[in-house]
Amino acid sequence: MTAAVAETRVDSKGTRKVSPGPILLLGAPGVGKGTQAKELMAKWGIPQISTGDLLRYNRDHGTSLGRQAKEIMAAGKLVPDDLVNQMVAERLKQADTVAGYVLDGFPRTLNQAEWLDRHLAADPKALPVIAVSIQVGYTQLLRRITGRRSCPVCGTIYNIYLQPPKVDEKCDLDGTPLVRRSDDTEEVFRERMRTYETQTAPVVDHYRALGRFEEVNGDQPVEQVAADVMAAVARLRS
């Protein structure tokens, strides 16, 4: 399937490499955007760009951006568009994005989507963006959010109910004690869902209307969701 995914390019050593281009993973909190982004990263060697992860990094390191974002994130609201767009613009300048990247959690407002459209249109070599929206029902999302744990060292995502580590609360890969996100409470999850319905659902409609858009059932085993996402990417790039 990989060969069908996108253009191939030849690197400086003459090796042919696949270039899947920009891929957006859309969907409500807990649908599995981060989990699936890591599958695509492993498959195609392209980076995951998670605005949530970048904001948490800034928050935990006390940067100016992190200080501005902290309370907003804790409340389950959205960080202002100009701050997030600027952060994404900086990240997209890095050389590892040349063959493509997976944007996870961005865009999240119509303003962000229109900014991204303009930003990519300014680069004549950029492949058009493709969007895959992952769907999961509310009750399952609540279980996923309240059971989520992650490794602070390697970023692997677990779930104490659905995808537990082999040893309780320890990462399978490096044994590090797992951590829980401070916004993974039922109360903040409800607010994040409200924010999603009012501000992010229109982004899904925006990409549906543009075409180059598919929906995938996220309420299946991780491997099956990954296969469906990759098949959708292959169709959208064919």
* Chain residues that interact with ligand AP5, rule: CB under 6 A: 27, 29-35, 51-52, 55, 72-73, 76-79, 84, 105-106, 108, 112, 144, 147-148, 157-159, 162-163, 192, 218, 221-222, 225
Given Mg ion, ligand AP5, none, residue 21, with its beta carbon under 5 to 8 Å by kind, binds: none
Q: How many CB atoms lie within 10 A of CB 34?
A: 20
Closer of 6 and 73 to ligand AP5 (Cβ):
73
Tell which one of 20, 34, 107, 218 touches Mg ion (CB under 5 A): 34
Task: Answer positive or negative: Cα dihedral of 54, 56, 59, 61.
Answer: negative
Q: In whole angstroms, how close is the CB of 50 to Mg ion at the nearest point?
A: 6
> 138 to each of 143, 145, 218, how far by Cα in Å?
9, 11, 12
Residue range at the interface with Mg ion (CB under 5 A); choices 13-21, 33-41, 74-82, 213-221: 33-41
Smallest gap from residue 187 Cβ to ligand AP5 (A): 13
Burial class (CB in 10 A: 0-12, 13-18, 19+), 118: exposed
**Residue positions counted in the chain:** 238
CB 122 to Mg ion: min, Å: 28
Give yes or no for a contact between 173 and 151, defined as CB atoms under 8 angstroms apart. Answer: yes
Contact footprint for Mg ion (CB under 5 A):
34
